[in-house]
Structure 1
Amino acid sequence: MPAYPRAELEEMVARWLAANRDAERAGDWIRSLGAMYTEDAEYGWNMGPDQEFLARGRQQIMEWALGFHMEGFEQWRYPYDHVVIDDAQGEVIGFWRQVSPARRPDGSHYEVAGLGGSWFRYGGDYQWSWQRDFFDLGNVKALFMELAANGQLDAPVRRKIARLAKGQAMPGVHPLHPAPGLLAKLKGYYAMARIVLSGG
């Protein structure tokens, strides 16, 4: 990973934060952020113990990460609270929050609890070559359930959750581990049964 001038990385971060604010105002993540990735960039995040999301290349990032997976979040805000720049390695970590436009009875916005952020690798020319998001999936699910119970979860988000629950394919989402074959499953069930029957 090459080093980059500190001033260049600081300018990249300033441009990125401005583009995020533009995206929030416009409700359009693709137009504001798409050009800020290299042609061969990768962008991913974990979706729990069994699944990951990964987009390879700018086109997939725009269509999948900034497009499909951001449907229903056009009015959400993702304010950055702190940014750490490592100019020796050309990397940046930004800590952000996920704030819904919906409000609680006390007037405050629904917000995902826990820690959220992105780890970036700079690719030069004011573009990211790699990005990895991290967030508390349990808190995201809990907030979605609360919003759904109150009738405040947007329809596109409900549809995506339904697809996941049914095991239907979603762009860029893939299993972390290969599905075991029938023999492996049977061996696993047999081993589990032995443990249960023997009392542990």
Structure 2
Amino acid sequence: MAFDRSELDEMVERWLQANVDGEKAGDWRNLAEFYTPDATYGWNYGPKDDFMAVGRDEIRDFAIGFEMDGLDGWTYPYQSWVIDEKTGDMLGLWKQVFDATRPDGTRYALEGIQGSWFKYGGDFQFRWQRDFFDYGNVVALFMEMITDGVLTDGMSARMNRVANAKERLPGWYPLGKTPVPMW
């Protein structure tokens, strides 16, 4: 299904503004309205786990709620977009940057390539989203932040929730076992 390029460009502008609004609030649940009711949103969590939210409610409550809670002070500035109006595929490349600075004055930021692959569904909504980032760099960055003592209380609580979970957290699945295919 082909889409009008101006509609896709407007979708990007709406999405970027909603992201800025979420960053300012430290709560990205406002993004849920950008997904179709049956949309899926997933990513890989390293060598053993994948994450997948199925449906707008799980996307709001788990992917951009539970998984993002505690990440206040982080921004995700998009660097570039690749858009295919013939297929509705949209690739947004972003950075993940914390507002604290290292002793050398640089910001704590995730290195490597991060991005989101979206499938547009029309009516200013995504049918699905798949994020990609270097999990090893995430672990290294968070370990550096722990060592430097710059974690916020929210980030500490988020990390403790994951580390101390007695069972799988909502949306977490064994590698390759998500309810819908990752790719």
Q: TM-score scaled by structure 2?
A: 0.90
Following superposition, the deviation at residue 20 of structure 1 comes to: 0.8
Alignment match of 2:98 (pick from 97, 100, 117): 100
- Counting only pairs closer than 5 Å after superposition, residues 35-184 of structure 1 correspond to structure 2 as 35-166=33-164, 168=166, 169-176=168-175
SS in 1 for 2:13: helix
Following superposition, the deviation at residue 56 of structure 1 comes to: 0.3
Q: Tell me which amino acid in the other structure corresponds to 1:144.
A: F
SS in 1 for 2:47: coil
Distance 2:24 2:162 in 1: 29
Q: Tell me which amino acid in the other structure corresponds to 2:119.
A: R
RMSD over aligned Cα, in angstroms? 1.5
Q: Tell me which amino acid in the other structure corresponds to 1:12.
A: M
Post-superposition Cα deviations, 1:92-133, rounded to whole Å, max 9, x if no partner, equal 000000001111112221001100000000011101110000
Following superposition, the deviation at residue 167 of structure 1 comes to: 5.6
SS in 2 for 1:83: strand
Q: Which has the larger radius of gyration?
A: 1
The answer to which structure has the higher helix fraction is: 1
Distance 2:11 2:128 in 1: 14
Runs of 5+ unmatched residues, structure 2: 178-183
Following superposition, the deviation at residue 71 of structure 1 comes to: 1.1
SS in 2 for 1:124: coil
Distance 2:124 2:73 in 1: 26
Shift >6 Å, 4+ stretches:
none
Percent identical residues: 51
Following superposition, the deviation at residue 163 of structure 1 comes to: 4.3
Following superposition, the deviation at residue 75 of structure 1 comes to: 1.7
